[in-house]
Amino acid sequence: MAPVLIIGAGGHALVVIEALRACGRPIAGLLDDAPGRESGAAPLLGCAILGATALLPRLRAEGVAEAVIAIGDNATRETLGARCEAAGFSLPPLVHPTALVSPSASLGAGSQVMARALLGPLARLGRLVLVNTGAIVEHECRLDDAAHLGPGAVLCGGVTLGRRALVAAGAVVRPAVLIGADALVAPGAAVAGPVPDGACLGGVPARPIARAATAQGAPSGARAARAD
C-alpha cells in the first residue's frame, strides 16, 4: 500500500501512528509547525518528522497522495484538512481494526474511529470527525464536520453533534439531544437536554460552566499543525 502522511506530531499522532500500523498502512513521515518539531527532530514511535506543513506541495509532487490529520483540536484539524486537500491530498477515513462499525454507518473524508470505539446502525460521521478510544456512537447519531467525541464518551441513539463540537472523555448524552456547533461538554458530564451553539456544560446533570473550568476546553497548544 502507498505510504500516508501524518499532519501533527503531538499526543494524538501517537494514536494515529499505531492505528495506521494496525491497518497495515506504511507511514511517509510527519509534518508539524511547532517549535522543536522541525526536520531532524527525534522520530515519533520510529516515524520521521520531516518538517513543517510548508512541505505539503513538495511531498505531493513526490507522489505522496494521502494525509491523515493527527490533531485533537477541532478547528485546527478542520483548517489543516482544507490545506491538505488544497495541496492535492486525499483524506482517507481511519478505522482501527478493533473498532466496531455498523455496515450501515457512513464516514466522511478524514474521519477517525479509534480502538474499541463503536458506530451503530445509520450513524453518520461528517468530514474530519474524531471518535476517540472506546467511545460509543449509537444508532442514527449524526456528527457534523470536525466534531470530536472523547475517550469513553457515549452518544445515545439519535444524538446530533454539531460542527467542531466536543463531547469530552466519559461524558454521556441522552437520546435525541442536539448539541450545537462549537459547544463543549466537559469530561464526565451527563447531558439531558439541548446544548446551544458555543455553550459549555459540565456536571451531573450538565449545566452551564465556564469554559476554562473544563479539562479539555482549551485548544491543546494548537498552532498551525500541532496535535498535543
At residue 138, the 3 state secondary structure works out as: coil
Pairing, β 200-202 against β 207-208: antiparallel
Handedness of CA 228, 37, 182, 78 (dihedral sign): negative
At residue 66, the 3 state secondary structure works out as: strand
Cell 470530536 maps to which residue? 148
Q: Is 139 a catalytic residue?
A: yes
Q: Which of the following is catalytic: 12, 96, 139, 148?
A: 139
Give the Cα separation of 98 and 48 in Å (integer): 26
Cell 522543536 maps to which residue? 36
The residues annotated as belonging to the active site are: 139
